[in-house]
Amino acid sequence: MKRFLHSPVASALCAALLFLPLKDLKSAVILFVFVLAGISAAPYIRKLKIPQIPFKASGLSGFLPVLTITIFALLPFALKDYYLDVLIMFGIYALLALGLNVIVGFTGQLNLGFAAFYAIGAYTYALLNTRLGLGFWPSLPIAACFASLSGLVLGVPALRLKGDYLAIVTLGFGEIVRIVLNNWDTFTKGPNGIAGIEPPYIAGFSLGKLQYYYYLVFMVVIAAVFVIRRIEFSKTGRAWLAIKENEIAASTMGIDTTAYKLYAFAFGTFWAGIAGTLFAAKMQFVSPESFTFMESVLILSMVILGGIGNVYGSILGAFILVIMPELLRDAQLYRMLILGLCLVVLMIFRPQGLIGAKDASAGR
Amino acid sequence: MHLLDVKGVTKHFGGIKAIEDVSFKIQQESIVSIIGPNGAGKTTLFNCLTGLASVTKGSITFMDAAISGLPAHKILEAGIARTFQNIRLFSDMSAIENVMVAQHSKIKYGFASAALRTAGFRKSELETRQKAFEYLELSGIDSFADLPANSLSYGNQRRLEIARALAAEPKLILLDEPTAGMNPSETSEVMTLIKRIRELGKTVILIEHDMKLVMGISDRIVVLDHGVKISEGTPDEVRTDPMVIEAYLGKEAAH
């Protein structure tokens, strides 16, 4: 009996039975087969010794970025609108992952409410635009700075906490922001959302068309990578890493740890504010539904999947987690299941993420 | 003028008296050892001196300025750096990056010049790297500059901690058991290193259990036992002090 409980069949059966009340019998059976196959295969896959791909930052600084940028720059000429739309969302999520990576990856402060700052950016532009008639360009820095400021407001009390406790507080903050947006009817129109947000204009020329908007997002992502990489390899970046590695040693080496954690919060949430503005201007509509806890988890998954603490890893993570659900659209029901499985498999074989931070630092 | 003046420092953790009314003064460019049996309060004293623990009572004056109550990073800026008994390196960073972190408060450029990578920024970063390399050379571990700190051997990790503390360019450097777990030849290398540190015009306070090292290198020795200073003086004075012999070997041996 005891042996049976520890067998893959028991685990798979257990998962399937738990799944049964939520979905129909057919799904439960499919899940059973998947889990059984997965668990049974795991020891053999582990023995295969999949070669870990060495990924050097020095290689990235040469040929690869140029190639990647060229490919992405040419894509609008080849792709249908639907794919462009997906790629724009990829760009927005890449910005979010880049921002969260500063907080979680560089500084080691867990944050489970990052969608709140995304929401603050989006609603700032939505409200400035629909109520005051302010355009995209003046709103962009205002929204980014406002998100950054909210990062500071959360950071001051929250950064007294560490680890799990910090995670809980940031999670709470994320929920507070979403619930306020949902219930403050007179100001945010509650669950109905705000419609009729203008796309950006350049000299009276609308960038609302997908092709143009794609290039706008594309430029902003490149600018973000540019700035974040430079800060990473400065005294600020070193201070962040030092805090992540050993906070006590960092403080005795002259780093004001509280101040630098706050800088990381302010800097990371700044990009969330920009991503929020881009999102609002693209959709021309915002509602609290877009900024749920799941969104925060998704962004965190991107950072972890790509390789925590690695700028390119965050982008890769965003790419996979935005593109993959689209590719799996036919398997809609099992999307999250497959995604979860992929993450588990990844954690077994590459716990440091697809591009680990360590691999990158070896090339410095 | 004394570089460091510790006056009546007391540290209680709840009911536990870790340090009780400890006073001593330290001359510039001297090597002072703090010795005592395990649990005597030596590391707690270091924590008080570097701002990691608050002082319950008493005052610490460094270069005529009161430093008790200052946060750790301010104390480093005042000119006191330290190493740790249980090594605290930034283990995933390379050796040279560890040392570069220590120069944090010396680097003047701001956020914007880093983002724009201005000429001033590039010059400053280059200087920081060069200086870091010099400190690695001084500690004899320059050949490991680009390796991750946690891949270094135990002895070299200790030396990297010393290099990192030196890179902060302190006037006073506190070494917490720098030779713990080292073999005799490594220990004598560290001894040479400590003498070189003094030649650079720095003052050293040492916590150490290796009596050969302590007696051979120290100008003065402070002996703690159960949080109380029981003796202070030159190595010869301390060696013959009955109080010290009692603390280490028991009451019978003192007579």
Are B73 and A249 inside 8 Å of each other by CB? no
Are A254 and B92 inside 8 Å of each other by CB? no
pLDDT in tens, B79-113: 999 999 999 999 999 999 999 999 998 888 888 88
For residue A312, which of A89, A59, A50 has the smallest C-alpha distance? A59
> What is the DSSP secondary-structure string of B201-245?
T-EEEEE---HHHHHHH-SEEEEEETTEEEEEE-HHHHHH-HHHH
Mean pLDDT by 10 residues, chain A (364 residues): 68 71 71 76 63 44 75 83 92 96 94 95 95 92 96 90 89 95 91 91 84 92 93 93 94 94 95 96 94 92 88 91 81 74 79 66 40
Are A234 and B109 inside 8 Å of each other by CB? yes
Buried b (16+ CB within 10 A) or exposed e, A200-225: beeeeeebeebeebbebbbebbeebb
At CB < 8 Å, which residues of chain B contact A? 50-52, 71-73, 75-77, 81-82, 84, 88-94, 97, 100-102, 104-105, 107, 109, 111, 114-117, 121, 125, 128, 146, 148, 164, 168
Out of B51, B94, B102, whose CB is closest to A253? B102
Min Cα distance A254 → chain B (Å) is: 4
Out of B93, B101, B128, whose CB is closest to A361? B93
Mean pLDDT of B152-163: 93
For residue B184, which of B216, B150, B206 has the smallest C-alpha distance? B216
Interface test with B, best of A252, A310, A352, A364 (most B CBs within 10 A): A252
Are A255 and B104 inside 8 Å of each other by CB? yes
Note whether ipTM > 0.85 here. yes
Residues of B in contact with A257 (CB under 8 A): 73
**In this predicted structure, what is the pLDDT of residue A51?**
46
DSSP B10: E
Interface test with A, best of B100, B104, B106 (most A CBs within 10 A): B104
The CA–CA distances, whole Å, from B32 to A77, A216, B206, B214 equal 73, 63, 6, 9
Percentage of residues in chain B having pLDDT higher than 90: 70
Query: What are the phi and psi torsion angles at B16 (to 5°)?
Result: -85, 125
What are the structural domains of chain B?
1-79+170-255 (3.40.50.300), 92-164 (no CATH)
Size of interface A-B (CB pairs under 8 A): 102
Are A238 and B100 inside 8 Å of each other by CB? yes
Are B84 and A241 inside 8 Å of each other by CB? no
Are A241 and B90 inside 8 Å of each other by CB? yes
Buried b (16+ CB within 10 A) or exposed e, A11-37: bbbebbeebeeeeeeebbebbbebbbe
Are B101 and A255 inside 8 Å of each other by CB? yes
- Answer yes or no: is pLDDT of B255 > 70: no
Mean pLDDT of B181-187: 89
Kindly state the tokens that stand for A237: 């970046």
Query: What are the phi and psi torsion angles at B14 (to 5°)?
Result: 60, -120
Are B125 and A234 inside 8 Å of each other by CB? yes
Interface test with A, best of B43, B49, B50, B90 (most A CBs within 10 A): B90
pLDDT in tens, B28-84: 999 999 999 888 899 999 999 999 999 999 999 999 999 988 999 999 999 999 999
Interface test with B, best of A244, A253, A255, A258 (most B CBs within 10 A): A253
| Beta-strand relationship, B172-176 and B203-207 | parallel
Quickly count: other Cβ atoms within 10 Å of residue B74's Cβ: 15
DSSP B87: -
CATH code, residues A57-361: 1.10.3470
Higher pLDDT, B233 or A78: B233
Cα distance between residue A362 and residue A353, in whole Å: 16
Cα distance between residue B167 and residue B178, in whole Å: 17
Out of A227, A230, A248, whose CB is closest to B88? A248
Min Cα distance A228 → chain B (Å) is: 8
Angle between helices B184-199 and B154-167 (to 10 degrees): 10
Instruction: Judge contact between B101 and A238, C-beta under 8 A.
Output: yes
Nearest chain B residue to A356, by CA: B92
pLDDT in tens, B7-30: 999 999 988 899 999 999 999 999
| Beta-strand relationship, A201-202 and B4-13 | unpaired
pTM: predicted TM-score of the whole model, two decimal places: 0.85
Kindly state the tokens that stand for B28: 């510039």
What are the domain boundaries of chain A?
1-49, 57-361
**In this predicted structure, what is the pLDDT of residue A20?**
67
Out of A231, A242, A245, whose CB is closest to B115? A231
Query: What are the phi and psi torsion angles at B108 (to 5°)?
Result: -100, -20
